[in-house]
Chains A and B, each alone.
Chain A
């Protein structure tokens, strides 16, 4: 069994648990909102939805990159890796803009329990996106400098990075549903 894929699978198991705990806290305080801003009053699911599409698209580009890698088409791999990083970075940019907008309206992390759990949950997700982008950028760099050779070990590692990236996107599906969609239902 390939080591890197198993390792990343186990890591995802542990991270899924971590996110689950943060989601539970968000849901718990959604039921006991207290006063102040709520998801429905300050979030913009439409806009965030658009940025989310970019993130989901980056999963698709990552899939294509993996496909090109397996076909040993390393230049194409590089192109699609760069596309993935670009799309992911745009998602993070959107998140930064959202945070800035909220902060301007006085919705800081300690404003109320909605704000705390919202920023904690989406913030840690953003951190995981960022780490994923760093990893993909490293692979892209290796690809650009011609160091990819297609060995079994290398393929294992490449796929592991891809799996991590898809996990990060899957987590966003859940977070987007629980935080943004649930607010407008």
Chain B
């Protein structure tokens, strides 16, 4: 195809470049390498964010502790939250999408490979910028959502919050660019025969999620821009003392923040929707309903934001509206849980490590979702918001939910990415240590919150029961440390000497399993024909091909 100049400077990015070594990675515009780089970056920040969590838990193990000063504690918990959300979960999920989606749709790469690379590097730059704050006067210390006016210069004297704003702006730009890339890729580069209704659910959820990102991240950028002007140019948009509004920040932030939590869970739902059917040996139950409920969640996610503000005092009408919408969003979520569970029935369940994490996800995420419903009941929120019960809730959905799904996805796709299997025995240990460590750390935070312990406190009074619950939680955090070390060891060992994976070690059905492990630079030598949702199943069972079976009952 003709195009721009043939001079070699402006031309098609060449994914088949023969460069080797580190430079090849740095200069890469290949979605597989970029996806892996996203995931490695996320893993690095996961270790850092996890270390921050351990520091928090050590400080909170006993009352009146002096391990961390209050300001240091505040920086650590702010960085822990910001890191886990923006530098771990979002890049990890983005990386998995960037890696898997082009393969699952039979494409050679994403629609805009160079934009893809830019998205990764700006994300990494944002992360480095955020952490640079530690040596530039102090990390941000106003919490991961930086409420005003605490985040304004009068109350937040170091440059930390400014670094937070700048870093998040970079990350937001990277996310939006990545989302645009994903949508254009999915819409324009699908292989012939793969209609929208035959999309693998991971791809569908990535598509819906990308729209969420495009609509929600600009809201954050708008808020960040005004906070930056307040901090650097002495404006007062969010300073009540000068006529500004502290509540405006909250509306803006949660206008982003609530869709954000769905941005962090939808791709996880997608992973589960791939893993559960494959290891049950049967198609997902109720594909249409799972797909439709995803769209419902996406729309509803823009109508619930002020449930984060129930305790702000905005009036009963306001509270009732947002309570209603927040309860409503539980329904499509529940539909998914039921569909995944129904997929298990009459299946032939292979308890691989990936599957175990997926099953763990169903149970743990349900728990997190249920505490979420309790928060939708506003008077209950009036007692329990901003307590450790809330900390428990969001860790159950984000760790018990998203993180477990991410582990499931890694065990599932690692063979494809590297050509080697992760060790299943170590994987089982990893799973059980994670499940035990996670529940030890977070389950008892539910009663702790009910007993009155607020969140974001650097220490607490020696009230009956508070110390033992905190101490157990700290022990749990160290069990989690062990599980993560085990996981990293599994990765390292398997990369060196894991069993060869072959093209399709799981006997799975989507297109990524129809090429070598790892795939060649152009992804496919030949893309199989696509006449249904499970192309490789259809190939293997021509007499029982999906759409025929469906139509013929």
Contact = CB atoms under 8 A, between A and B. Distances in A.
A–B direct contact (CB < 8 Å): yes
B218 A14 contact: yes
A154 B10 CA distance: 13
Contacts of A154: 3-4
Interface residues of B, number: 37
Contacts of B222: 17-18, 20-22, 25
Contact of A109 (B4, B215, B235): B235
Interface in B221-269: 221-223, 225-226, 229, 233-237, 243-245, 248, 252, 255
Find the residue from A17, A113, A117 having the highest chain B CB count within 10 A.
Answer: A17
Given A7-B111, A154-B3, A32 B243 contact: yes
Contact of B183 (A6, A22, A147): A6
Interface string A16-31: 0110111001001100
Contacts of A1: 187-188
A22 B221 CA distance: 10
B4 A25 contact: no
A18 B184 contact: no
A120 interface: yes
B266 to A, nearest CB: 17
Nearest to A109: B233
Interface in A3-56: 3, 6-7, 10-11, 13-15, 17-18, 20-22, 25, 28-29, 32, 34
B2 A21 contact: no
A153 B1 contact: yes
B237 A116 contact: yes
Contacts of B22: none
A3 B248 contact: no
B217 interface: yes
A117 B237 contact: yes
B233 A110 contact: yes
Contacts of B215: 13-14, 17
A22 B248 contact: no
A147 B219 contact: no
Nearest to B252: A21
B221 to A, nearest CB: 6
B5 interface: yes
Contacts of A151: 1-3
Contact of B243 (A11, A113, A120, A147): A113
A124 B437 CA distance: 48
B47 interface: no
Nearest to B255: A21
Contacts of B180: 7, 10-11, 14
Nearest to A116: B235
B183 A10 contact: yes
A149 interface: yes
Contact of B225 (A14, A22, A28, A113): A22
Interface string A46-86: 00000000000000000000000000000000000000000
A6 B188 CA distance: 9
A112 interface: yes
Nearest to B112: A7
B5 A15 contact: no
Contact of A3 (B188, B214, B245): B188
B176 interface: yes
Contacts of B176: 11, 14
B211 to A, nearest CB: 8
Given A25-B226, A34-B243, A149-B2, A18 B218 contact: yes
B206 to A, nearest CB: 14
A116 B188 contact: no
Given A110-B234, A113-B244, A21 B112 contact: no
Interface of B: 1-5, 111-112, 176, 179-181, 183-184, 187-188, 214-215, 217-219, 221-223, 225-226, 229, 233-237, 243-245, 248, 252, 255
28 contacts: A3-B188, A6-B183, A6-B187, A7-B112, A10-B184, A13-B214, A13-B215, A14-B217, A14-B218, A17-B214, A17-B219, A17-B222, A20-B222, A21-B255, A22-B222, A25-B237, A25-B248, A28-B245, A34-B243, A109-B233, A116-B226, A117-B237, A120-B225, A120-B226, A147-B4, A151-B3, A154-B3, A154-B4
In the A-B complex, the 6 residue pairs with the smallest Cβ-Cβ separation, listed nearest first, are A21-B222, A18-B218, A17-B218, A34-B243, A116-B235, A110-B234
Interface of A: 1, 3, 6-7, 10-11, 13-15, 17-18, 20-22, 25, 28-29, 32, 34, 109-110, 112-113, 116-117, 120, 124, 142, 147, 149, 151, 153-154
Given A10-B180, A17-B222, A112-B243, 7 more contacts: A3-B188, A14-B217, A17-B218, A20-B222, A21-B252, A34-B243, A116-B235
